[in-house]
Amino acid sequence: MSVGLDYQFLVKTFFIALSGVPTALIITIVSLLIALPLGFLLALSRINQIPVISQLARVYVSFVRGTPVIVQIFIIFTSVPLLLKPVFEEYHVQTNIYDINPIWYAFIVFSLNTTAILIEVFRSAISTVSKGQLEAAYSVGLNNVQAFRRIIIPQTLVVALPNICTATVNLIKATSLGYALSLREITLRAQVAANVGYNYIEAYIDIFIVYLLLCSLVEYLFKLYEKRLRKYKAVGA
Amino acid sequence: MQKYFDVSYLWGTIPQLIPFLKVTFMVAGLSVLFGTILGFILALMKLGTSKIAKKTANSYTTIIRCTPSIVLLFLVYYGLPAIVGNFGTDLNTLHTAVFVVITFSLQFGALMSEVMRTAYEAIDRGQFEAAVSVGLSPAQAFRRIVLPQAFVVALPNFGNSFLELMKEGSLAYTIGLVDIMGKASLIISNNYNSHSLEIYLGLSLIYWILSILIEQFFSRLEKIFSKGKQVIKTT
C-alpha cells in the first residue's frame, strides 16, 4: 500500500472523470424528458382512478420503489435482448443485439425508474391543488387543456419542484451504476484509469468531487427556478 | 447465452437466496443502529446554538447527499485502510461487512439527521413551554412531551430511509459481500451467465416482498403511535 496520494495522477484523472459528465447529463436529461410527461399522465390516471391503468401504475410504482436500481438495471440488460431477438429476426434487422450502445439500455432503465418516482411526486403535488381551482377555471370558459396548462400545472409545479430536484439528484447519482452496463460515464472512466496503477483512492476522490460539484450545481439551479416559480404560490391557505 | 426463459430457475433460486437474507438484515440493522446515533448527534449540532457545529453538520449532510452510494462505498473500502495504515494498523484483513456497515452508517446518519431535525421542528414550541409551566423540568418535558410527538412525525420518514438503505445495501456485492445480491451474482457466475434473467427476477421478487412487508410494518406502527395525536381535520 502506497503512503500518501499521487497528486499528479489525482489531477490527471480528475479531467478524465470530468469527461464523463456529458454522458451522465445526457442520460439524466433524456430520462427526465421521458419521465416527466409520462409520470404526470400516470399520476392523473391514479387520481382519477381510471381502471386498469391506475392499478397497473400502482403495481409498477410499488415494484420500482421496492427493488434496488442495480437489480432493475440487470433485469433490463438481460431481458431486452431476449425480447428483441425474435423481433429482429422477424424483420431481418441486421444489427447484432449485443452490439447495441449500452446508453440505450441506460435510457430505458433510468426513464422507467424515474417515471415511477415522479408518479408519486406528482400524485401528492396534484392533490394539494384544490378541486375548486379546476372548477373555477372551467367556469370562466377555459377548456380542459387550457385549465391544466395555465391553472393546475403551474401550481402543481411549485409544490412538486423540491421533490423533482431530489429525484434529479438521485438520478444523477444513480447513473454511477452505469458501470454495470459498461457505460463509459464518470465512474467507469476513472476506474479504468485507476486500473493501470491501482490508484483507486485517487480515482474515487476524483469521482467524489465531480459528483459533488455536479449535484451542488443542479441543486443550485433548482433553487433559482423555485424562486422564480414562487410567484404562482397561493398566499395563505 | 441461453435462448429460452425457464421459470423453474426463478423458483429454484429463491430458496437458495433466503438464507442470505440474514446477512442483508444484519448489515442493514447495524447501519441503522450506528446511523441513528450519528444522526442524533448531527441533529443536535444542527439545532444547537454553535454556528460552527451547525455549518459542519449541514455541509456533512450536503456532501453525503451528493455522493452516490457506490462511490462512498469504494472510498471507504480503499480509503480507510490507507488512512489507518499510516498509523501502523492493518485493516486489510478486516471483514468486508465492516466497511459496508461504516459506509451505510455514514449515509444513514446524514439522512436521519434531517429526519430528526424536521420532526423536532414540527413540534410546536408551545408544547414544551406548556410542559415546563406545569412544573416539569426541561429534561422531563423533552422526554415526556416533545420526544413522543416528534417520534410519530419521524416514523414514516424513518421507514422510507430504512427501505432506501436496504436497497442501497445491495451494492455491497461490488466489494465482495455475500448478501442476497452477492449470492445471486455468485449463482449466475456458477451457471456461466445462463438464466441470469430468471435469477435477477427471483431476487427482485424477494426485495419487492420484503419492502412491502416493511412498509406495512411501519404504517401499522404509525397507526399505533399516533393514537393520541390530535390533527386538524382537513376536508
Domains of chain A: 7-232 (1.10.3720.10)
Min Cα distance B207 → chain A (Å) is 5
Chain A, 212 to 231: residues with Cβ < 8 Å from chain B are 212, 214-216, 219
Task: State ipTM.
Answer: 0.83
Q: Is B227 helix (H, G, I), strand (E, B) or coil?
A: coil
CATH code, residues B21-180+218-225: 1.10.3720.10
Of A63, A75, A208, the CB nearest to B71: A208
Question: What pLDDT does B228 receive?
Answer: 64
pLDDT at A134 over 80: yes
Could you tell me if A53 and A45 are in contact, meaning their C-beta atoms sit under 8 angstroms apart?
Answer: yes
Task: Collect the ranges in chain B with pLDDT lower than 70.
Answer: 1-4, 228-235
Sign of the CA dihedral with B68 first, then B72, B77, and B82 last:
positive
The average pLDDT across A57-81 equals 90
The residue whose grid cell reads 441503522 is: B32
Task: Check if B65 contacts A (Cβ < 8 Å).
Answer: yes
Pick from A139-143, A181-185, B70-74: least confident: A181-185
Q: What are phi and psi of B213, to 5 degrees?
A: -60, -45
Interface test with A, best of B5, B10, B70 (most A CBs within 10 A): B70
| Per-residue three-class SS string for chain A | CCCCCCHHHHHHHHHHHHCCHHHHHHHHHHHHHHHHHHHHHHHHHHHCCCCCHHHHHHHHHHHHHHCCHHHHHHHHHHHHHHHHHHHHHHCCCCCCHHHCCHHHHHHHHHHHHHHHHHHHHHHHHHCCCCHHHHHHHHHCCCCHHHHHHHHHHHHHHHHHHHHHHHHHHHHHHHHHHHHHHCCCCHHHHHHHHHHHHCCHHHHHHHHHHHHHHHHHHHHHHHHHHHHHHHHHCCCCC
Give residue-wise pLDDT tens across range A8-58.
888 888 888 888 889 899 999 999 999 999 999 999 898 888 889 999 999
Question: What pLDDT does B93 receive?
Answer: 74
Of A75, A169, A215, the CB nearest to B197: A75
Question: What pLDDT does A233 receive?
Answer: 64
The average pLDDT across A97-114 equals 87
Task: Check if B216 contacts A (Cβ < 8 Å).
Answer: no
Cβ <8 Å between B78 and A75: no
The span from the CA of B182 to the CA of B61, in Å, is 29
Cβ <8 Å between A67 and B204: yes
- Locate the chain A residue with the closest alpha carbon to B215: A66
Question: What pLDDT does B82 receive?
Answer: 80
Question: What pLDDT does B179 receive?
Answer: 87
Question: What pLDDT does A235 receive?
Answer: 52
Cα–Cα–Cα angle for A84, A86, A91, nearest 5°?
95
Task: Check if A66 contacts B (Cβ < 8 Å).
Answer: yes
Question: What pLDDT does A34 receive?
Answer: 94
Question: What pLDDT does A149 receive?
Answer: 86
Closest CA to A27 of A181, A162, A166: A181
DSSP B86: T
Question: What pLDDT does A1 receive?
Answer: 44
Cβ <8 Å between B78 and A204: yes
Of B63, B70, B210, the CB nearest to A212: B63
The average pLDDT across A68-73 equals 92
- pLDDT bin (cut points 50, 70, 90) of residue A81 is confident
